[in-house]
């Protein structure tokens, strides 16, 4: 049987608390910008002309993707024949078409599902091929991609390094494409939390439990500091409330949210969901490191938040994050 | 007709893919052209050892890759350069047992495995849990202990199943003294983690009062690990769950492991169930070396490691 090591235990507990005390950090230089733009667009259903809507929305940002390789990091959580827990394939297909139309040389689609190692079963259950056509090698199972050791920059968690997929590290432009969902451990799962999916199961398992032990909130910061998405597209046409990210209840919000600052995008999503982003632990800290959280630093384009606000139910443990 | 198409899938597609994908260092990656990793290498070796045609040179070089990947503490890492061992230690021990020429290497791996206790069920964590306001969110019996994917984390169904299979396959004289106790605790853990209606997911039978949905692959591996006890109600319920869900399987990896499991329990593959060749036609297994190896194991003769019915049954 393992021995109890009091010194190590105290050090561990101190380390856990240290993250809460560590303050006065400023935005990491490469993420500094005076303000961030976020576009909110209405889309009542997945039958909408999403390709045109997404293309027009991306044009606002004048993204440097011409001739580049883009990775659409979708949120493929599990077998989902009803299409309520994963990024909808219609949104993925429309985003892919839009980036190609913007001149991207190559648009990959990928994810590393956290709970189920049968990625192909998940992809088939959401009928991705029906929307995108055969992807062949343009679909990347990030769980089993070749990996590279990456020292972490922020040390918000106790992790010093992570092995991450070479595809994610090697693309020119990384797009986080989450679904608008509540999350039973983190509060919400949006473009920052979606990046958990780049951590490979082949190294860390299904689920990627080492991240839970490191602290979900802190691990989100560490991952995004080394692999920050260049852009986020959030599928809020139908999201999930309550006991997300898998067992919650579908919630139609009829929106897509776009932006090149994932913190600003996630903060806007929270406000649409009737939640206070400053009360979500990891978002609150992300607002000091990775992007803008405050309304006065976010230029809201498209629809007003108030016109699309759709309050999401949260678990009792997260009642304090509701506005 | 079915046998012909299965044979074509194995002999005409999967085995050539595996043979062509071996790297110069003797190992296999997860996809053709990927760097060698212990996990896919172990699965390919299992598939080649089970194949009718001899692949002696490829197998010898594959075993060589696995042996040289062992860390000094006896464990195996998930990827080259990583200095901490993990669950692939079970796969490596299990695979090298078949080589029958590496007893010291296997013994060191099994020794590491039996010393690798999960952190979620240490006496300290159990004490903390007693006083935690969140103890009812995830109601499990934390006196049972299996294995985690990585050291110092929690027990999960698949790595626990792999460890049980590794300990079961190993010659008795290589087993550490703690092996019997570890296996008993792990089997209890698996039984405790079964979902309410049968089947397993990664290891969360209930969260926030909501029953977890079983998944195919963890269910099949848990059933294979517990196959020495077919009379246990957990096995019967989970086999029934698997049977009810075979027709819905859309992933070839899930289908292959299910087929191995199902036939190991002596059940007849249901008529009208999906076939691997049909699923291969959809996405060519996403070029997954591991899935191709599993397909070979599912379509060929019963793997040798399943013929014992649990050689070292507890």
CA distance A142 to A147: 9
Question: Is B51 within a domain?
Answer: yes
Minimal CA–CA distance to A256: which of A183, A175, A196? A175
Which two three-digit tokens encode residue A213?
Answer: 């032990």
Residue B246 lies in a domain: yes
Chain B nearest CA to A82, separation (Å): 14
A148 φ/ψ angles, rounded to the nearest 5 degrees: -135, 140
Chain A hits for B210, CB-CB cut-off 8 Å, are 243, 247
User: Residue B180's pLDDT band (boundaries 50, 70, 90)?
Assistant: very high
Sorting pLDDT into bands at 50, 70 and 90, what band is B306? confident
Residue B216's domain is classified under what CATH number?
1.50.10.20
Residue A83 · residue A126 · CB < 8 Å:
yes
Angstrom distance (rounded) from CA A77 to CA A121: 11
Q: Would you say B65 and B136 are in contact if contact means Cβ atoms under 8 Å apart?
A: no
Instruction: Please state the φ and ψ torsions of residue A161, each to the nearest 5 degrees.
Output: -155, 165
Instruction: Tell me the backbone φ, ψ of residue A110, rounded to 5 degrees.
Output: -160, 165
Position A16 scores a pLDDT of 42
Contacts of A134 in chain B (CB under 8 A): 283
A129 CB near a chain B CB, below 8 Å? yes
Q: What is the distance between the alpha carbons of residues B192 and A86, in angstroms, rounded to a whole number? A: 29
Domain interval for residue B72: 2-306
State the smallest CA–CA distance between residue B249 and chain A in angstroms: 7
pLDDT tens by residue, B111-133 = 999 999 999 888 888 888 888 77
pLDDT in tens, B202-246: 998 988 788 889 999 999 999 999 999 999 999 999 999 999 999
Residues 6 or more apart in contact with residue A11 via CB below 8 angstroms:
none
Separation between Cα atoms, residue B164 and residue B183, nearest integer Å: 6
φ, ψ for residue B20, nearest 5 deg? -70, -20
User: What does each C-alpha distance from A237 to A40, A181, B37, B52, B286 come to in angstroms?
Assistant: 11, 11, 40, 52, 29
Cross-strand bridge partners of residue B210: B207
Residues of chain A with pLDDT under 50: 1-24
Q: What is the pLDDT of residue B129?
A: 81
> A222 CB near a chain B CB, below 8 Å?
no
Distance separating alpha carbons of residues B136 and B208, to the nearest angstrom: 8
Residue B3 — pLDDT band, cuts 50, 70, 90?
low
Question: What are the structure tokens assigned to B254, written together?
Answer: 């899930």
Condensed to tens digits (0 to 9), the pLDDT of residues B47-100 reads 999 987 789 999 999 999 999 999 999 999 999 999 999 999 999 999 999 888
Contacts with B147 from chain A: Cβ below 8 Å: none
Backbone angles phi, psi at A318, to 5 degrees: -120, 20
Residues B83/B77, Cβ–Cβ less than 8 Å = yes
The verdict on residue B128 lying in a domain is yes
Q: Please, what is the Cα angle at B257 between A140 and B149, to 5 degrees?
A: 65
User: Has residue B314 been placed in a domain?
Assistant: no
Of A152, A157, A150, A126, residue with least CA distance to A139: A126
The predicted structure's pLDDT at residue A317: 87
DSSP for chain B?
A: -HHHHHHIIIIIIIHHHHHHT--TTS-B-SSTTSPPBHHHHHHHHHHHHHSSS--HHHHHHHHHHHHHT--TTS---SSTT--S--THHHHHHHHHHHH-S-HHHHHHHHHHHHH---GGGSHHHHHHHHH-TTTTTS---TT---B-SSTTS--BHHHHHHHHHHHHHS-GGGS-TTHHHHHHHHHHHHHHT--TTS-B-SS-SEETTEEPPPBHHHHHHHHHHTTT-TTSHHHHHHHHHHHHHGGG---HHHHHHHHHHHHHTTPPPPTT---HHHHHHHHGGGG-HHHHHHHHHHHSSPPGGGTTS-TT--
Identify whether B245 is part of a domain.
Answer: yes
Q: Which of B185, B190, B181 is nearest to B159 (CA)?
A: B190
Tell me if B311 is assigned to some domain. Answer: no
For A212, name the nearest residue in chain B, comparing CA atoms only: B153
Nearest chain A alpha carbon to B33: A146
Using one digit for the tens of pLDDT, what is the confidence trace for B11-51? Answer: 999 999 999 999 999 999 999 999 999 999 999 999 999 98
A-B contacts at Cβ under 8 angstroms: 130
Separation between Cα atoms, residue B167 and residue B175, nearest integer Å: 7
Chain A neighbors of B252, CB-CB under 8 A: 120
pLDDT attached to residue A76: 97
ipTM: 0.94
B34-37 contacts: CB < 8 A, separation 24 or more? B34/A145, B34/A146, B34/B289, B35/A146, B35/B79, B35/B80, B36/B65, B36/B80, B37/A202, B37/B78, B37/B79, B37/B80
CA dihedral A137, A141, A144, A148 (to 10 degrees): 80
Kindly state whether residue B111 falls inside one of the protein's structural domains: yes
Give CA–CA dist B93/B253, Å, rounded: 22
Give, rounded to a whole angstrom, the gap between the first and last alpha carbons of chain A: 47
Tell me, letter by letter, the H, E, C secondary structure of chain A.
Answer: CCCCCHHHHHHHHHHHHHHHHCCCCCCCHHHCCCCEEEEEEECCCCCCCHHHHHHHHHHCCCCCCCCCEEEEEECCCCCCCCCCCCCCHHHHHHHHHHHHHCCCCEEEEEECCCCCCCHHHHHHHCCHHHHHCCCHHHEEEHHHCCEEEEECCCCCCCCCEEEEEHHHHHCCEEEEECEEEEECCCEEECCCHHHHHHCCHHHHCCCCHHHHHHCHHHHHHHHHHHCCCCEEEEEEEEEEECCCCCCCEEEEEEEEEEECCHHHHHHHHHHHCCECHHHCHHHHHHHHHCCCCCHHHEEEEECCHHHHCCCCCCCHHHHHHEC
B216 lies within 8 A of chain A by CB: yes
Token pair in block for residue A227: 């692999």
Cα–Cα dist A140/A131, whole Å: 17
CA dist B287 and B275 (Å) reads 18
Query: Any CB–CB contact under 8 A between B245 and chain A?
Result: no
Beta-bridge mates of residue B304: none
Residue B230 lies in a domain: yes
Of B148, B251, B287, the CB nearest to A209: B148
pLDDT at B1: 54
Confidence label for B314 from pLDDT (cuts 50, 70 and 90):
low
N- to C-terminal Cα separation, chain B? 41
Q: Out of B154, B207, B254, name the one closest to residue A209 (CB).
A: B154
Note whether B234 contacts A: Cβ–Cβ < 8 A.
no
Distance CA A254, CA A237 (A): 4
A48-63 per-position pLDDT tens digit: 999 999 999 999 999 9
Rounded Cα distance, B72 and B77, in Å: 11
Strands A173-177 vs A179-183: parallel, antiparallel or unpaired: unpaired
Domain count of the fold of chain B = 1
Please name the residue that has the structure tokens 């949210």: A257
């Amino acid at each position: 049987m393992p021995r109890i090591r009091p010194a190590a235990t105290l050090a561990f507990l101190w380390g856990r608390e240290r993250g809460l005390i560590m303050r006065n950090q400023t935005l990491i230089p490469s993420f500094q910008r005076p303000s961030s733009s976020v576009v909110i667009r209405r889309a009542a259903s997945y039958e909408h002309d999403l390709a045109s809507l997404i293309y027009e929305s991306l044009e606002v940002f004048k993204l440097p993707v011409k001739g580049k390789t883009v990775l659409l990091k979708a949120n493929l959580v599990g077998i989902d024949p009803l299409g309520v827990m994963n990024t909808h394939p219609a949104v993925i297909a429309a985003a892919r078409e839009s980036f190609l139309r913007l001149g991207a040389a190559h648009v990959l689609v990928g994810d590393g599902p956290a709970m189920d190692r049968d990625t192909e079963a998940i992809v088939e259950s959401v009928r991705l091929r029906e929307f995108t056509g055969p992807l062949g090698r343009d679909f990347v199972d990030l769980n089993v991609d070749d990996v590279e050791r990456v020292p972490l920059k922020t040390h918000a968690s106790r992790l010093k390094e992570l092995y991450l997929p070479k595809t994610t590290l090697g693309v020119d432009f990384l797009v986080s494409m989450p679904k608008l969902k509540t999350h039973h451990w983190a509060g919400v799962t949006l473009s920052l939390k979606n990046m958990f999916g780049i951590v490979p199961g082949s190294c860390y398992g299904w689920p990627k439990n080492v991240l839970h032990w490191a602290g979900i909130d802190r691990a989100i910061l560490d991952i995004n500091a080394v692999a920050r998405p260049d852009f986020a597209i959030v599928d809020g046409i139908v999201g999930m409330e309550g006991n997300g990210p898998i067992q919650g209840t579908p919630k139609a919000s009829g929106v897509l949210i776009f932006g090149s600052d994932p913190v600003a995008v996630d903060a806007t999503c929270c406000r649409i969901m009737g939640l206070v982003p400053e009360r979500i632990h990891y978002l609150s800290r992300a607002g000091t490191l990775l992007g803008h959280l405050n309304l006065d630093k976010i230029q809201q384009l498209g629809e007003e938040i108030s016109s699309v606000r759709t309050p999401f139910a949260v678990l009792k443990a997260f009642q304090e994050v509701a506005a | 007709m079915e046998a012909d198409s299965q044979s074509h899938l194995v002999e005409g597609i999967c085995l050539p893919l595996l043979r062509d994908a071996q790297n110069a260092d003797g190992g296999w990656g997860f996809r053709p052209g990927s760097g060698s990793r212990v996990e896919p290498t172990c699965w390919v070796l299992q598939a080649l050892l089970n194949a009718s045609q001899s692949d002696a040179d490829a197998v010898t070089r594959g075993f060589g890759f696995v042996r040289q990947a062992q860390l000094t503490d006896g464990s195996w890492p998930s990827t080259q350069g990583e200095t901490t061992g993990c669950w692939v230690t079970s796969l490596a021990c299990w695979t090298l047992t078949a080589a029958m020429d590496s007893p010291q290497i296997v013994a060191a791996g099994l020794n590491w495995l039996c010393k690798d206790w999960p952190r979620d069920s240490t006496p300290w964590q159990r004490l903390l849990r007693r006083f935690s306001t969140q103890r009812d969110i995830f109601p499990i019996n934390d006196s049972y202990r299996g294995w985690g994917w990585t050291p110092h984390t929690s027990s999960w169904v698949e790595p626990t199943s792999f460890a049980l299979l590794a300990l079961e396959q190993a010659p008795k004289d290589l087993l550490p003294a703690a092996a019997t106790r570890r296996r008993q605790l792990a089997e209890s853990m698996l039984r405790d983690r079964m979902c309410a209606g049968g089947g397993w997911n990664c290891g969360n039978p209930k969260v926030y009062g909501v029953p977890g949905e079983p998944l195919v692959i963890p269910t099949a591996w848990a059933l294979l690990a517990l196959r020495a006890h077919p009379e246990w109600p957990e096995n019967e319920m989970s086999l029934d769950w698997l049977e009810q869900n075979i027709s819905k399987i859309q992933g070839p990896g899930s289908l292959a492991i299910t087929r191995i499991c199902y036939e190991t329990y002596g059940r007849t593959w249901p008529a009208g169930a999906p076939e691997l060749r049909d699923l291969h036609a959809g996405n060519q297994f996403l070029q997954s070396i591991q899935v191709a190896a599993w397909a070979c194991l599912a379509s060929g003769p019963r793997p040798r490691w399943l013929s014992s019915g649990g050689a070292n049954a507890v």
